[in-house]
Amino acid sequence: MNNEELLAAILDCVEYGKVNKESPYPLAMKGRDGADELTRDALAKGVPPADILNEALIKAMDRVGQKFSEKKIFVPQMLVSAKAKNSALAHLKPYFSSGEVKRKGRFIIGTVSGDLHDIGKNLVSMIVEGAGWEVIDLGVDVSSRKFGESLIKYPDAVVGLSALLTTTMVNMKTITRELKNINPFVKVIIGGAPVSDAFRADAGADGYARDPQGAVVFLNSLTKQK
Amino acid sequence: MNTITSDIRQGRILVSDGAWGTFLHEKGLLPGECPELWNLNKPEEVFAIAKSYIDAGADMIETNSFGGNSFKLAFFGLAAKVYDINKAAAQISRDAAGPDIHVLGSIGPTGKMIIMGDVTNEELYDSFSKQAVALYEGGADALVIETMSDIEEAKAAIKACRENTKAEVICTMTFEKTGEKSFHTMMGITPAAMVSEAIAAGADIIGANCGNGIRNMIGIVEEIRSVDAKIPILIHANAGAPVYKDGKTVFPETPDEMAEYVNLLINAGANIIGGCCGTTPGHISKIAGIVRRNK
């Protein structure tokens, strides 16, 4: 395979969730190399790591996020794609550390205090990471203090707040206010089943996304403004 | 007391209860507080909820045990209390119900995903078994596995209930409208796909709960009926999708608005109708009024 073919093959593996040669899923790709082997081969052949990130991984996860948003695929398909993406990203880690490949920015995410639901938050993390961002996942039941400490550590980060319950989404309001106190320029995006754009306006947050792809669109719009 | 399924076989339409979670919050449950701990600490408040639905005309009430599995209770440091909390949940509802009203032991999802490697089928089965046994021993005559999105987790729960208790087993999943006439759970399961799998695992009654309001439930019931004419169907609908208004989140459908759809739901083939998030004794009272008028 030449470089273009390798990139196209990695893209396919991530889009359809082929992690490595052993992985049984998807059936149509059984026995073939997965994102893991192909990424290793591509780097060995001198394909620039930035091309693997931009031309294969980000493009594939963009398609995945798009299909999820259109309800053409569901959580399981998204999870296997994310797993395939992670197996490729593992090979790129040294290039991130050395600075040879740059991410678009940092994204701090967590489920707000009082709320233990992490599925939606995890899906957003996967898609945002797949879009080329470094994700700092603070977990569930995250207090404004914990969000604040993370923002102080990563002052240039965008912050994402997740909640599933109508009773906990109100905490997004206080957390947003605290974060804006720490850094008036911080951008905060919120999401979760009960959340709406009307609530976002009231909470003083900058963005609302109804699905993971919406979060990526918002984040990427910030990099364009810079 | 007849079983729920035998009543349905005789052609009866039954009324279930309404929301518990949103009701508990109205009674002062704080975000981040363990709702199921109220069974031990504030049983009189839990009893009052059960009683209010019986007074509204429900033929069956649930228990305050939706998050009573070992995984969720562990987060609150209550893993050792799984038995006590669930048994108390069933006892409180049974005290309110007396001998003639059914008590449905509520079993919600663990929040762990098999596909992520968070948990195995066996671990889920063990967790659900412990919860099911405690609910059954506390006096539940049926168990309702609800808000499921993953069919594997639902099946583990159904088998745990079927193999470890003599209770009737109900399984409802949460579907979202994904197209003109299509519905899927978050994990991509359709109502039609649920039917054969849930019945094969041992469910006596199947259906849907939560979601975005009672209107969508009609299409979901139609889809279930298109593949199975007989299986009893239970619907617990939200009072619409939550909307944020004037600093508060509200479930917008009033008892009268929900009641408009009850006959359509029965005509589509539903056998048991009740409410989920945002529904109140007022909603259940309206639903009961319509169901009884049809007799």
Residue A55 structure tokens: 């031309």
Mean pLDDT on B152-171: 98
Q: Which two tokens stand for residue B271?
A: 């056998």
Q: Does B178 touch chain A (CB under 8 A)?
A: yes
The ipTM of this complex is: 0.87
Q: Give B116 or B288, the one with higher predicted confidence.
A: B288
Q: In the predicted model, is pLDDT for residue B223 greater than 80?
A: yes
Residue B247 pLDDT more than 80?
A: no
CB-CB neighbors (< 8 A) of B31 in chain A? 113-115, 165, 167-168, 170-171
The answer to whether B145 and B106 are in contact (CB under 8 A) is no
- Chain B residues with CB-CB distance to A119 below 8 A: 111, 113, 186
Which tokens hold the place of B238? 């939200």
For residues A175 and A182, give the distance between their C-alpha atoms in angstroms, rounded to a whole number.
11
CA angle A141, B49, B167 (to 5 degrees): 90
pLDDT along chain A (226 residues), means of 10: 96 97 90 97 97 97 96 94 96 94 96 94 95 97 97 97 92 97 97 94 96 96 77
Q: Which amino acid is at A185?
A: F
Domain positions in chain A are 3-98, 106-225
- Total Cβ atoms within 10 A of residue B96: 20
The CATH class of the A3-98 domain is mainly alpha
Chain B residues in contact with A170 by the CB 8 A cut-off are: 31, 249
Closest by CA position to A120, among listed A133, A134, A137, A106: A137
Q: Would you give the distance in Å from CA A149 to the centre of its chain?
A: 21
On chain B, the residues whose CB falls within 8 A of the CB of A115 are: 31-32
Instruction: Quote the tokens at residue B3.
Output: 């079983």
pTM for the model stands at 0.93
Cβ of A74 and B188 within 8 Å? yes
The pair of structure tokens assigned to B58 is 């429900």
pLDDT at A224: 74
The predicted structure's pLDDT at residue B22: 87
pLDDT confidence bin for B14, thresholds 50/70/90? very high
Q: Which fold has domain A106-225?
A: Rossmann fold (3.40.50)
CB contact under 8 Å between B32 and A115, yes or no, is yes
CB-nearest to B186 from A74, A141, A196 is A74
Judge contact between A224 and A194, C-beta under 8 A: no
What's the pLDDT score for residue A225?
60
- Residues 6+ positions from A2 with CB-CB distance below 8 Å: none
Counted domains in chain B:
1
Backbone angles phi, psi at B24, to 5 degrees: -60, -40
> Which chain B residues are closer than 8 Å to A169 by Cβ?
249
Q: Which residues of A203-217 are buried (b: 16+ CB within 10 A; e: fewer)?
A: bebbbbbebbbbbbe
CATH for B243: 3.20.20.330
Kindly report the average pLDDT of chain B as a whole number.
96
CB contact under 8 A, B186 and A113: no
For residue B45, give the nearest of B68, B62, B29, B61 by alpha carbon: B29
Contact between residue B88 and residue B40 where contact means Cβ atoms under 8 Å apart:
yes
Q: How far apart are CA B33 and CA B81, in angstroms?
A: 15
pLDDT band at residue B295, thresholds of 50, 70 and 90?
A: low
Residue-wise DSSP of chain A: --HHHHHHHHHHHHHHT--STT---SGGGTTS--HHHHHHHHHHTT--HHHIIIIIIHHHHHHHHHHHHTTSS-HHHHHHHHHHHHHHHHHHHHHHHHTSS--S-EEEEEEBTT----HHHHHHHHHHHHTT-EEEE--SSB-HHHHHHHHHHSTT-EEEEE--STTTTTHHHHHHHHHHHH-TT--EEEE-TT--HHHHHHHT-SEE-SSHHHHHHHHHHHHHH-
Helix axes A119-130, A75-98, angle to 10 degrees: 50
Q: Which of B72, B115, B176 sits opposite A76 (nearest CB)?
A: B115
Question: What SS3 string covers chain B?
Answer: CCCHHHHHHCCCCEECCCCCHHHHHHCCCCCCCCHHHHHHHCHHHHHHHHHHHHHCCCCEEECCCCCCCHHHHHHCCCHHHHHHHHHHHHHHHHHHHCCCCEEEEEECCCCCCCCCCCCCHHHHHHHHHHHHHHHHHCCCCEEEEEEECCHHHHHHHHHHHHHHCCCEEEEEECCEEEECCEEECCCCCCHHHHHHHHHHHCCCEEEEEECCCHHHHHHHHHHHHHHCCCCCEEEEECCCCCEEECCEEECCCCHHHHHCCHHHHHHHCCCEEEECCCCCHHHHHHHHHHHHHCC
Structure tokens at B98: 């007396």
- Chain B positions touching A163 (Cβ under 8 A) are none
pLDDT tops 90 at residue B177 = yes
* Best to test chain B binding among A119, A122, A124, A146 (most B CBs inside 10 Å): A119
In this model, does residue B120 exceed pLDDT 60?
yes
Residue of B nearest to A78 (CA): B187
